Structure 1
């Protein structure tokens, strides 16, 4: 059965985005729209809202691999006051399963009113609902750079302080898991990115404006190349 909601896959430079886009369409049972290569994360999310034809729609990252058993036709609409529902995703390098990289059901109107948080979706008006069910796997470890970037951005934001109100003990558990990443492809780069992200966040605490760099693709690529580029090529 086809889902009652539109769906948009938001991609930038993920190597497997084409295949994962097709997979999403097969599982959701309809046409999945796509926004690709837009600079500026906040702008990209807002443009996704304009692509969707239903007021509530599924939003997937370009590296999200949906579980073929995901019960799309049975998904209930968001209740009043809820801006977004997040399904969990399996992390392929560290054994964690949580909202990072997971599937979202989101309101178009909420995306149009995002605030200025570094984690753009943390600035939605209204409440966020975290679902205990797992919708798929976040396949960010498609290259040395993408694995590093995932660890860097996530651990920099966790070290800065969770914008979703996560308890300190939970934050530390996730930091520990990321820095110990050893499973799957390019796990060592995810671990290195995690360590680099923690160090960056501690330095940036003296100049909070630096955290905006976490959403700058060119800066992230340069940072990776400066610290790990030669190793990545040699490996």
Structure 2
């Protein structure tokens, strides 16, 4: 049954680009949270995030990516507002391909004002002005393996950024290496090989790009990522 509203306090926005299962995951999000707005197909990523703030009717709102599959047991009514000075709260998400559970792909509670004042970073939301709060429990699953391309892209982008270093300043070197090992070691599911291949390619990209800001900006360019995937694998998608 669809909820009548989102905890009475927080709006919700679902941000999708080209994910094959986005319609289904959006419907599931609405079943858990109530009426949720959707922004689809907007590029570049930084602009898409800022437009989410314009869609939201509340100053703090839930933000879910197009591959986020919410846990039906997640209770929005129990969620407290962000503390003063906190720009975003991130719940963990489980990755069924490699078995990791951490903030990657997780549900967020975010301030509209912080998105409007977004700075510049490779991991776009790392440039929010204010503190980032990480919740040590998952709110759902990140469905990275919706196609060969999407699995490859997830591995490529995440391992490139892990190799570069966490822009949130909240992850130890040991944790980063453990995650890299899991991403590059294969996993479970029809596109596990593509995810691991993309992860290894992401490491190669990071080593070659060093401090080149133009190269790193390509991680947020969907057209470049698709071309890189096609070149690497010989597949169109």
TM-score by length of 1: 0.96
Q: For 1:187, which of 185, 192, 209 is the aligned residue?
A: 192
Structure 1 position 39, deviation (Å): 1.0
Which residue number in structure 2 is paired with residue 203 of structure 1? 208
Q: 1 CA distance for matches of 2:121 and 2:109?
A: 19
SS at match of 1:200: helix
Which residue number in structure 1 is paired with residue 32 of structure 2? 27
Q: Do the aligned residues in 2 keep the contact of 1:142 with 1:185 (CA within 8 Å)?
A: no
Output one character per residue of 1:177-203: Cα deviation in whole Å (capped at 9) or x when no partner: 100131123000000000000000000
Q: 2 CA distance for matches of 1:114 and 1:6?
A: 20
Q: Which runs of 5+ in 1 are unaligned?
A: none
Which residue number in structure 2 is paired with residue 17 of structure 1? 22
Q: 1 CA distance for matches of 2:58 and 2:44?
A: 24
Which residue number in structure 2 is paired with residue 76 of structure 1? 80
Runs of 4+ with >6 A deviation: none
Structure 1 position 206, deviation (Å): 5.2
Which residue number in structure 1 is paired with residue 220 of structure 2? 215
Q: 2 CA distance for matches of 1:206 and 1:116?
A: 15
Q: How many equivalent pairs are there?
A: 231
Q: Do the aligned residues in 2 keep the contact of 1:93 with 1:185 (CA within 8 Å)?
A: no
Q: CA RMSD in A?
A: 1.2
Which residue number in structure 2 is paired with residue 137 of structure 1? 141
